[in-house]
Amino acid sequence: MQESRTVRPIQEPHAIPGAVELLLVRHGESQGNVAATLARQQGAHVIDVPARDADVKLSATGREQSLALGRLLAGFPEDQQATSVWSSPYARALETADLAVRSGGWRAPVLADERLRDRELGILDMLTSAGVEARLPEEAARRRWLGKFYYRPPGGESWADVALRLRSLLADLDRQHSGGRVMLVCHDAVIFLFRYILEGLSEREILDIAATSSVLNASVTRFVRPDGFGPWTLESFNVAEHLVSGGVPVTEHAGDTNVHPR
């Protein structure tokens, strides 16, 4: 005769809330932004950048923008300040984060994380669109066919690749900053892809946004999730009023707007 026993139900662990607010900041204008815009205006094939992408620093205007961002941060009540600031390890982003946090009087540490770095361009690095067409016509055709979201240049990343590393980072943020507010200082493509993930957008929807708007230098995008669970809400996108009110130039250095597959 089989011995009877009591089967106890499995107890679900108590759910722990994740982060409740994300402030996404594009770095201030960089020397690379200035060089890339000049190269496009001149119809040049190669961008005359002063250093490798990771080491490109802010322009004088970019430093002004970062200090204006700091004045915005200084106006945040203490209970609304970020508990942590995460930054791309690229020099222009770290410099933006450091200037803004220090001048704003925030006590949050600045943590560098390579998952926030800009998209790797591989073989296309330092080339303008005209340069890609002239020097790498087969890659130019492949980029047009696949569209910006799925095109991966040799040695580089697609937007889909960047989205994968951002999903990993968001999981870490939730684990490490339960109920907290976090500021992320990064790059324009990264901010578009945060929107793709946090809003649950489709490829077409995010490419439509990228084709019709650009992320301004030192602008602020805000997502909120008050209880730390469930979907995020886009509270504001690409806000740069702190630059205008401070008399600081607003700079727009956009990427290629031919983003849809053809």
**Res. 213: pLDDT tops 80:** yes
The pLDDT assigned to 254 comes to: 82
* Largest interatomic CA distance in the chain: 91
**CA nearest to 129, candidates 33, 256, 38:** 256
In contact, 242 and 76? CB cutoff 8 Å: no
Q: Which one is predicted more confidently, 185 or 5?
A: 185
**pLDDT number for residue 260:** 94
pLDDT for res 13: 54
Helix axes 60-74, 91-104, angle to 10 degrees: 40
> For the chain, what are the domain ranges?
21-245
Which of 41, 17, 31 is closest to 129 using CA atoms?
Answer: 41
Specify the pLDDT at position 50: 85
The pLDDT-based confidence of 6 (bands split at 50, 70, 90) is: very low
Instruction: Kindly report, residue by residue over 106-131, the tens digit of the pLDDT.
Output: 999 999 999 999 999 999 999 999 99
Q: What is the mean pLDDT of the chain?
A: 94
Q: Cα–Cα distance between 114 and 218 in angstroms, integer?
A: 20
CA–CA distance, 87 with 115 (Å, rounded to integer): 9
18 half-sphere exposure, CB direction, 13 A CA radius: 15
| Tokens at 112, concatenated | 């560098």
Strand extents, DSSP E, the chain:
21-26, 84-87, 110-112, 181-186, 220-224, 233-239
Which contacts (CB < 8 Å, 24+ apart) does range 47-53 have?
47/126, 47/127, 47/128, 49/126, 53/90, 53/118, 53/121, 53/125
pLDDT (mean) for 68-81: 96
Phi and psi, residue 181, nearest 5° = -110, 135
Cβ neighbourhood burial of 43 (10 Å; 0-12, 13-18, 19+): exposed
pLDDT of residue 188: 97
pLDDT over 70 for what percent of the chain?
A: 95
For residue 10, is pLDDT > 70?
A: no
Statement: residue 7 has pLDDT above 70: no
**Taking residues 29-37, what's their average pLDDT?**
97
Instruction: Read off the amino acid at residue 154.
Output: P
The residue type at 134: A
User: Rounded CA gap, 261 and 189, in Å?
Assistant: 17
Closest CA to 259 of 216, 222, 214, 219: 214
Per-residue pLDDT tens over the stretch 130-159: 999 999 999 999 999 999 999 999 999 999
Residue 86: pLDDT band with limits 50, 70, 90: very high
What is the arithmetic mean of pLDDT over 165-193? Answer: 97
DSSP-derived 3-state class of residue 185: strand
**Poorest-pLDDT segment among 3-17, 139-153, 183-197, 232-246:** 3-17
Structure confidence at residue 8 as a pLDDT band (50, 70, 90): very low
Residue with tokens 């009877």: 4
Residue 258's pLDDT band (boundaries 50, 70, 90)?
confident
Domain spanning 21-245, CATH architecture: 3-Layer(aba) Sandwich (3.40)
